[in-house]
């Protein structure tokens, strides 16, 4: 019996996020202040007051979600929360997990994810890329439709979020063709996402090259908890293996379904979402429907206490 932690990425941000936890825990704003010192702007003010379009800009969303995940983790540890048996992060959330595991310094991570966001935005000019959520189709059907719709362009599965929920990414026109194919083949819904870059697709190759160079200059220590990386659903403790997984993550899909299945398969009976929102908790419940597995999210002091109790019972 054990418990695991997961950290959300882009898409979980919102104006006012973590305000309830911050009202009771000064450590939240202190964590954001650390990041602000690195970034050169008031990250907490941005998250609380917006504007929303600025918070939604990739190079700002990424540090915001990093700080939110790390702040929640620090509160967890302050209240005596134990180390989990495993951690994972959804896309950008892998950086939060690295900080929480002790492998990556927080301020270093803040500068790193800001750079990552800038490199991703620079790789594909606005309007040329797109992403869409496909609901109600099998993995193989989505991959086949993408292959047929490509027509010399890039479109591919980017996130295997849960059974029947897959995100595709690539060139805008190719994504549109894939949407029409999937609708004609029985997809329940196909929804274009309000994002500025086609993450986890081959269009991110220029960003991956830049990130690889930056990561070679970044120090990684031995983690206290080895994270499961969604690109290959494996744990990595070696610094070079971590760097390789983070680079590949930009151009290959997030295999979230398999990641949660691996956690449960290795004995996790409680999985806690560490950061704002409940996006991953919803996905996790669709992936693992057994009533013996508890899915929780830390959003405020009440949910923190619930998670502390559940994890102590399953340590």
Annotated catalytic residues are 91, 200
Residue 246 is encoded by which pair of tokens? Answer: 């983070």
Taken in order 229, 234, 199, 16, is the CA torsion positive or negative?
negative
| Nearest residue to 64 (alpha-carbon basis) of 297, 278, 209, 277 | 277
CA 162 remoteness from chain centre: 14
HSE (CB half, 13 Å, CA atoms) of 140? 0
| Nearest residue to 114 (alpha-carbon basis) of 182, 45, 188, 62 | 62
- Secondary structure, 3-state, 220-275: CCCCCCCEEECCCCEECCCHHHHHHHHHHHHHCCECHHHHHHHHHHCCEEEEEEEC
What angle (nearest 5°) sits at the alpha carbon of residue 68, between those of residues 65 and 70? 110
| Nearest residue to 142 (alpha-carbon basis) of 192, 202, 183, 194 | 183
Determine the Cα–Cα distance for residues 164 and 100; give it in Å rounded to an integer: 31
* Cβ proximity of 76 and 274 under 8 Å: yes
DSSP run (H or E) holding 152: none
* Cβ proximity of 237 and 222 under 8 Å: yes
What angle (nearest 5°) sits at the alpha carbon of residue 116, between those of residues 118 and 218? 135
* Cβ proximity of 115 and 66 under 8 Å: no
């Amino acid at each position: 019996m054990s418990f695991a932690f997961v950290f959300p990425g882009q898409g979980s941000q919102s104006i006012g996020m973590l305000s309830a936890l911050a009202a009771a825990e000064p450590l939240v704003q202190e964590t954001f202040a650390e990041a602000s010192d690195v970034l050169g702007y008031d990250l907490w003010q941005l998250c609380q007051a917006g504007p929303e379009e600025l918070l939604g800009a990739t190079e700002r969303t990424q540090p915001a979600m990093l700080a939110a995940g790390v702040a929640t983790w620090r509160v967890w540890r302050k209240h005596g929360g134990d180390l989990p048996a495993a951690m994972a992060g959804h896309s950008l959330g892998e950086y939060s997990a690295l900080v929480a595991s002790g492998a990556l310094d927080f301020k270093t991570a803040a500068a790193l994810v800001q750079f990552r966001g800038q490199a991703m935005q620079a790789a594909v000019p606005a309007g040329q890329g797109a992403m869409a959520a496909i609901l109600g189709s099998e993995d193989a059907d989505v991959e086949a439709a993408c292959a047929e719709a490509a027509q010399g362009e890039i479109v591919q599965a980017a996130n295997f979020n849960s059974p029947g929920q897959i995100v595709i990414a690539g060139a805008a026109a190719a994504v549109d063709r894939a949407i029409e194919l999937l609708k004609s083949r029985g997809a329940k819904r196909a929804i274009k996402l309000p994002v500025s870059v086609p993450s986890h697709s081959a269009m991110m190759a220029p960003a991956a090259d830049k990130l690889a160079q930056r990561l070679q200059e970044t120090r990684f220590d031995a983690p206290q908890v080895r994270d499961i990386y969604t690109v290959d659903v494996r744990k990595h403790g070696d610094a070079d293996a971590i760097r390789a997984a983070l680079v590949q993550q930009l151009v290959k899909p997030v295999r979230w379904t398999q990641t949660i299945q691996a956690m449960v398969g290795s004995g996790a009976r409680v999985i806690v979402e560490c950061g704002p929102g409940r996006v991953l908790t919803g996905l996790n419940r669709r992936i693992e429907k057994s009533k013996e597995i508890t899915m929780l999210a830390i959003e405020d002091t009440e949910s923190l206490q619930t998670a502390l109790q559940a994890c102590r019972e399953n340590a």
